[in-house]
Structures are given as C-alpha cells and as structure tokens.
C-alpha cells in the first residue's frame, strides 16, 4: 500500500463523496477510485459500503480509518523533523471565531503577511465548535476560537489559552435601576443573541437551565454591532465580549448589568495539530498578534 492511497481513503471518508474527495486532492474521480481499490486489495478487506449515499465506511473501514489518521499524524511528525529553515510558502488554513475576527483579524493578517510575504492565509470564520471539528478533520491548520477555560481537546491537538475575556450583559440605558440583578428577576425582559451554536448563548442557556428557567429569546441575529443597536433600542438584554462593547458606537446608550448568579467568562484558544512543520512559526505569530490586540484593547480601556 502507498501513502497516497491512505490519503485518498481518509479524504473519501471525511468528504463522504468520491467527487468531493477528488476535488479536495486535485485528482480525477477515476484516480480516486483506483487508489481506493488498490488500498482495499492490499488490505484484503472491503472498506466502503457502496450501497449508501452518502458514502460510509464498513465496520472494518471505520477501524482502518482511525488507524490511517494515526499514520498521517506520524508522517506529519516525520516531515516536521526534517523540515528545513527555508521560509514557508503556499497556504495556511486558519479558522477564526467571528468575535475574535471583529477585533483582531485585520491586524493579525497584516502581521502575518509582513513576516511571511510568500505565505497566503486562507481564513474561515464560524462558531468555535464548528471550527474545532474542521480542525480535527484536517481541513484547517489552526483555529483561534472562544471556548470555556476548562475545555479538553483531542489528543491529536495542541491548544493554549491566549487570554480570558469577560462577557458583559448589557441593557438599554436606564432600563434597570438596581445595582445587582438575578437571572430570575430579569426573566421577563428576554434576550437578543447570536443564533444557536454560539458559545456565549450556550453558556447562558446552561446557567438558566440550572435555575429551572428557559431562554426567552426576543431576537437572534449575527453581528455584535447590530445586536448592541437592538439592545440599545429596548429589544432585550445582550451578551457580548467586553472588549467589543468598549469600542462599540452604541456603548453610551447601554448599561452593563451585574448579576449575582451569572458571571460569564470565556477563553481565547489557539488550537492546532501537534505537529505543523514549517507552519508552526506562522501559526504562533498569528496567535501572538491576536493575543497582543486583546491586551492593547484592555490597556486602552484602563487608560
């Protein structure tokens, strides 16, 4: 068996389609089919259930897939050991949570381009859980995402926290008079939040559930500035990262609400495969730029 046959098999399982796997690897569909057939013949086993749509692995095929992922990771280690000191070229595929992108992506990309002019960053934005899944499937080289500080990661990944963000609950200015509130006492007001899948919203829902409360959702929409505008107009409470609130055009029309039973915090994580070879230093630089941008925002606020 050959390495390109292993790569073809893993890609087919990940894409669940011969056509999509061929596109991902830059091959024709007949070439992918030949590699799969050669791989099955070498192992003496049928790895794909060809009667299903989308394509799925057989019971044996699932076991083989997991072992093939181990082989790919070990090959990455080997390639990293013999990588030369020449600057990286080509593409680096990075996932960035939208909240991080709003505050730090532009500066991080500029810093990366200045240091590695021959390296092209391919950036995807989305929820942290979605980007983490794409990273585990080999579709990304690194991801800067927002997840709880106690998050555990797959053994194939390396992760470090770039810092912790305080989340602020906000309300229309003057709406709530008391100094400290409770989620129970504010239940009737309702919320303006991101669509389902957002880590902030998930954390709020878990806290509400622990109090025997359901989430009262008035509006769901993407975009921090739009959410803050809607909250400032009296459409409900909002939940946003404090650094984004501090630079918002709507900050003066909002009050930060303190809760005795809800103290939301979230960590900025830089997550990557354990071995990246020549991409290791660019990914570290990208993460350092994001970390620096959040620290500068906090310093500006303190000043």
Quote the pLDDT of residue 82: 61
> Rounded to whole angstroms, what are the CA distances from 88 to 54, 84, 117, 143, 284?
36, 10, 9, 18, 13
pLDDT value of residue 197: 79
pLDDT at site 279? 87
What's the residue count for the chain? 303
Dihedral (CA of 190, 194, 195, 201) sign: negative
Q: Which of 282, 270, 289, 290 is nearest to 92 (CA)?
A: 282
How far apart are the C-alpha atoms of 191 and 216, rounded to whole Å? 6
- Report the alpha-carbon angle 97-103-218, nearest 5: 65
pLDDT tens track of the chain, all 303 residues?
889 999 999 999 989 899 999 988 889 999 999 999 999 999 999 999 988 888 889 999 999 999 998 888 778 767 766 665 667 778 899 999 988 998 899 999 999 999 999 999 999 998 888 899 898 888 899 999 998 888 888 888 899 999 888 899 999 999 998 878 999 999 999 999 998 878 888 889 999 999 999 999 999 998 889 999 999 999 999 999 888 898 899 999 999 999 999 998 889 999 998 878 788 899 999 999 999 988 887 676 555
Q: What pairs with residue 286 in β-bridges?
A: none
The predicted pLDDT at position 178 comes to: 80
Instruction: Decide if 271 contacts 142 (C-beta within 8 A).
Output: yes
pTM value? 0.67
Decide: helix, strand or coil at residue 179. Answer: coil
Instruction: Locate 156 and state its tokens.
Output: 């194939």
Q: Which helix (H) or strand (E) holds 284?
A: helix 280-302
Alpha-carbon torsion 36, 91, 136, 19, what sign?
A: negative
DSSP string, 243-272: HHHHT-TTGGGEEEEEESS---EEEEEEEE
Please name each of the domains of the chain with its CATH number.
Answer: 3-81 (1.10.10.10), 90-163+266-302 (3.40.190.10), 165-265 (3.40.190.290)
């Amino acid at each position: 068996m050959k390495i390109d046959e292993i790569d073809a098999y893993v890609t087919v399982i990940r894409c669940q389609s011969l056509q999509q796997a061929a596109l991902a690897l830059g091959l024709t569909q007949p070439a992918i089919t030949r590699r799969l057939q050669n791989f099955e013949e070498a192992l003496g086993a049928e790895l794909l259930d060809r009667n299903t749509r989308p394509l799925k692995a057989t019971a044996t095929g699932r076991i083989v897939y997991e072992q093939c992922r181990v082989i790919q990771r070990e090959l990455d280690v080997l390639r990293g050991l013999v990588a030369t000191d020449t600057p990286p070229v080509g593409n680096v595929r990075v996932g960035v949570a939208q909240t991080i992108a709003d505050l730090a992506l532009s500066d991080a990309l500029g810093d990366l381009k200045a240091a590695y002019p021959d390296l092209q960053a391919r950036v995807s934005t989305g929820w942290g859980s979605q980007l983490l899944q794409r990273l585990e499937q080999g579709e990304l080289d690194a991801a800067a995402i927002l997840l709880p500080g106690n998050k555990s990661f797959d053994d194939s990944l390396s992760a470090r926290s770039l810092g912790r963000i305080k989340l602020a609950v906000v309300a229309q200015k003057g709406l709530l008079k008391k100094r400290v509130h409770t989620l129970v006492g504010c239940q009737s007001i309702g919320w303006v939040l991101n669509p389902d899948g957002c880590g902030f919203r998930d954390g709020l829902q878990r806290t509400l559930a622990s109090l025997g409360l359901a989430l009262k959702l008035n509006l769901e929409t993407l975009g921090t500035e739009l959410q803050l505008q809607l909250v400032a107009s009296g459409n409900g409470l909002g939940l946003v990262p404090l650094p984004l609130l501090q630079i918002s055009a709507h900050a003066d029309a909002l009050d930060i609400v303190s809760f005795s039973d809800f103290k939301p915090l979230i960590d900025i994580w830089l997550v990557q495969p354990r071995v990246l070879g020549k991409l290791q230093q660019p990914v570290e630089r990208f993460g350092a730029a994001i970390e620096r941008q959040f620290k500068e925002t906090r310093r500006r606020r303190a000043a």
